Structure 1
Amino acid sequence: MVVCVRAVVRVLVLQAAWALGGGQVRYSVPEEAKGGTVVGRLAQDLGLEAGEAEARRLRLVAQGRRASVEVSGASGALVVSSRLDREELCGKSAPCALRLEVLLERPLRVFHVEVEVTDINDNAPLFPAALVNLSLPENSPPGSRFPLEGASDADIGANAQLSYTLSPSEHFALDVKSKGENKHSVALVLVKSLDRESMPEHRLVLTAIDGGRPSLTGTVELLVSVLDANDNAPQFNQSNYKVRLPESAPPGTVFLHLKATDKDEGINQELSYGFSEAVPDKLKDLFIIDRVSGEMRTAGQLDFEDVQSYDLEVEARDKGVPPLSGHCSVELEVLDVNDNAPEVWVTSLSVPVPEDASVGTVVALLSVSDRDSGANGRVRCAVWPPAPFGLVATFAGSYSLVLREALDRERVSEYEVEVRAEDGGAPPLRASRGLRVPVSDVNDNAPAFAQAVYTVLARENNAAGAELARLWARDPDEAGNGRVSYSVAEGGAGAGAGSGSGWRPASSYVSVDAESGRLWALRPLDYEELQVLQFEVRAVDAGEPPLCGNATVQLFVVDENDNAPALLPPASASASAPGSLWAWAAWGAPAGQVVAKIRAVDADSGYNAWLRYELWEPRGKGPFRVGLYSGEVSTARALEEADGPRQRLLIVVRDHGEPSRSATATLSVSLVEGAEAAPSNYSEITLYLIIALCAISFVFLFTIIGLTVIKCYRYSLYGDSCCTGFCGVRERCPAELYKQANNNIDARLPQGLKYLFYPVLHFMFS
């Protein structure tokens, strides 16, 4: 009973308080407050005790859109539930209030709550555009005003109170006037005369500042373009010009003078003439207008058959800013003349023509026409040169180019044919069409070498794979028919006496590259084994069927100094070891007495086998000496007992090769009493001297006779075949004959005499 009384008392007190307060609760909250911000202690302000707000279900009544505040069930406080944007809720209206209904159950009561959303400076001033273009006449007087659109601010009150500033400028100032609460008129004022020639445009920045704390700003860029005062457009003296011009008029023909006037003065009165933008570029290439005088002339050749008339739009533009222009049209009529030559087309061309094509073969189909009419359009045709092709008319305007004679590609591989056409005009016009008619090849020519016989010189001991010569066979055919491959066909040589084998094929010595014709050695050549190698080289083309040609190759091996002299045992002296010889000499023997003879041979030939003998030890004034070319060891002075019982002589035998090769002989001479010396030595020496004297006389006589015959009948005996076909090079023939003579001497003369012939042969064949 007591509890009920207390509740009734509280209700009465609450009703009394509500009546005294006008029946409404008011709160204030700033916009953009965060969610959960307490707006007011609603349950406490309504006189509810703790926990009573939840028990009696204190809540907001939903109205239309979702409210941005809500009642906290536990505490009964009014809190922010979502973002509050004053500008979105109320725009520019002030104050901005949210009117809410609060429902309290048991007993049921309704309360009115008003929440005022206060403004904060969260919006900067905003201009309608970021860039404003202004065009001001150059002759605008100082003090001229140019209105500008001001900025707007979504805030209210002091946050929306705007002020304006202008970037520094000596020509412009800013005039701002108030038009009421937060309203202004903004104008740009000209304070100094403009000069477009010195400054054609001005860039200014207009800034708006609001009254918030802190203040926010907004800017706009002002682009002021200065315009020249030009108010009269040029006028032509005729709006339409009509001109007639023959199509034969040469480029540069003047056909019209344009004339336009402008009422302005100065630069605004100066005019330039030209085509309008609507005129195609191809017409601008065909006609030219002098920009100063207005003279119109042709730049290209007119053609009535292509275009019969031209409509040209022309303008005269003054030099004002902005420029003004006047327009007129020019109608040009083209008059026809006989200016079209016949035209020749190749409708079909069958090339290349095989060189074995039969007479009457159709090579090409031609079409001839003339764009003129009447006699000017009648065409006559001919072909040049008249052979080996001709023209055959098939029907009106059509011809066939046919073969009239047999072809030979090796004589003429390609023909330049000209088809000539002439119309019936006066004077007649002519045209021609060139045709390139290649002749295709057939395999009707065999490869042919430049020489029937090739003479090749190869030094012995050449490296395997060394190139010896290059052979070339010409085949006038083309492609595969003229592609030549080379091979060694047949031939060979008998091996030397020292080889121990018989005849060998040429393919074991040399090979020829199938594509290049390069002749190369398969192995080193040895002059002592092989002097001459003769074989056949075959050249075969790749035609169907293949054709071939042959050439003979004579390979001469040139001797190299690759053999050192070899010592032979003397006839009477004894040798205990190779290179060690013994001889006896008597004390008191006079100077010049031969005590021994050194014998040596060289497997080479010519200079390489020409030997000379040198006494190497002892040097100086020894008792013995050796013959330079004879190898005879003789006393250089009378022998004395002081010379000792034995003399050891070191003799070097050298050939004349480059570089020279040598052998060494050791001769031990024992000095004995005269009776002990072998008498057979002196008899043998005497015999040698007699033989040598006879041989020298014979050689001298043979030399005189041989020199006379060779010098007088040299080329008649051996002929050009020797000097060109045998050796290949005319100046090399004497050397080959010299070599052959050396070989004959080596084979037929004694070893001691043949060296006497070398200087003679050298003189004969030099």
Structure 2
Amino acid sequence: MELKVLVENPLEMHYVVVEITDVNDHSPSFPEKDQTFDIAEHTTPGKRFQLHAARDPDAGINSIRTYTLTANEHFELDIRQSDDDKIPFLVLKKSLDREKKHKYSLVVTAVDGGKPARSGTLNVGISVLDINDNRPVFTQESYEITIQENIALNTVILTMNATDLDEGINGEIEYKFGKTLKRKVYETFELDRKTGEIRVKGNVDFEETDVYKLDIEASDKGTPPLTGECRVIIKVNDLNDHPPEIEITSLSNTVSEDSKPGTVISLLSVTDKDSGLNGKIRTEIQTEGPFELKPSYKENIYSVTTKLGLDREKNPRYEIIVKATDCGDPSLSSFKTFNIEISDVNDNSPQFSHNPLYFYLSENNAAGTPLFSVSATDMDLNENAVISYHIVKEGNNNDINAFLNVNSETGQISGMKSFDFESVKTFQFHVVATDSGSPPLSSNVTVNVFILDQNDNAPVILYPVSSNGSAEGQVTDHSLFALDRYTGQIRTLRSFTETDEAEHKLLILVKDNGNVSLSATATVIVKLVEPKEAFAASDVQSAAAEDEDSHVTFYLIITLGSVSLLFLISIIVLIAMQCSKSTDYTSKYLPEPNYDGTLCHSIQYRSGDKRYMLVGPRMSVGSTIVPGSHANTLVLPDRRKTSDEASMILIT
């Protein structure tokens, strides 16, 4: 310090230098207590940042001597001398990484040279500015998840998570699919760019794709943007959502009925799009029938074969239903239906509805007209069922067969002649029915034909008179004789007297019972004879009858033999009718009080098939028939005797 001193006597001016010794009574101080810096993390080491300089009023040694910095690995101080001032600089000695430490708090201390030294501080705050030097990173490099097929649409199956250590837009992440994925991925899934959620967009079908591989990218918004990647593997669990499928690879729609067991009818293949147990198949034939399934050498290949013989006539067609069931839970089934036609072979011969056959034919049929028809059926088809007919020619029946003709197509039988009941009452022949198969099969039937009688013959009166028709009579004296219209018996109603005529003429009319009645007449002459002449007459009559009957015996034997059964029935009926009429005769014809209306005695004898009875009241052995009896007239001699002698009547 320099002082100026003025001395007046003598007046002089003197300068006096006064040195003031400093005392360290001030501490260094910074103009501001805090100083901040924004330093980019990509700043290269060596970068200098000027700090505020401290001030210290003290001088000399008590002034600011040095600056110190909080120990750290990234920054250091550099002091530059400028005139009397020391200016501090913050020097970056190591690169910064914002992602590791984005803020630093340092203290710069200014120290003077006093003793004791005084100091002042400056708080230095450093913010590390971010640069886009970190790419997004997923929590996993690869994700693997499993979903069910047919999962509902819009279901979130996975949320992606990627992080970026940068901040701001450098740390903002967007998600997207990789550019090399298959089209099916884009059709099935969608990715939310902001949230990273993966949602189901389309139908997930195990049978189409059982595994999806997705490449996911996460990009920040820095300049330039950085990208991270990961892979997502999505496995699809199979559901039993497909029933088995049955395909007919080969089919014979028509099978011959003579096919042997084991004949292959069809080939089937069975598939199921599902997997595991869901795709394991059980196959069976649902319908009953002579068929079975046999597995082939290859899995799920089957053949449908016959297991029994076939019979078209019992079952001409079959509907086969094949069922395939998988082993899923719950199981699914499918069905396949196809029809099999059984073709015919000629294994059935023609058959008649009845054997033997019986036909009744009226006599006097017109020659050449159809008589009746025979018909056979054949269970086969087409030409195997086309039947032709022919009559078997037999030695013992050739006389009949020669007059018969059969239509080979219709089985209609015609007669080439008219049949006569009185000649032939029944005959038999055989018809053969043959089909048109190869080889042909045939069967025969026995045909029995019965000729029905028509009323084409008038009654023939034989002596004694007998007829199956009814008889009517005209007599000269109605008080003497009565005629039974059903039996033809002529009876006396009373005893003969001397006043009665010696000869009586009886006209007998015999009619049959046909629809158109035919008749014949005969005249019976009754003459009264002595009793002993009646027996002689009976002998003569018997000899005459035997001669006359010998001409018709042959015809009667044939007729009676062929209709013996009918004759017996007629006899039984006539006897019954006679019994029922006996009371009527008694009541109708009243004999004399001393005559009971019955013949006194009779003599019976046979000639051939005829039975004769000679009746008369108290007839003597010596009675005879007057010679001259002939044709339709029976003559009895007239011998008038006592009242106890009567005429003799010959009847059957």
TM > 0.5: no
When the two structures are superposed, what TM-score results if normalisation uses the length of structure 1?
Answer: 0.36
Structure with bigger RCO (C-alpha 8 Å, 6+ apart): 2
Larger Rg, first or second structure (1 or 2):
2
- Bigger helix fraction: 1
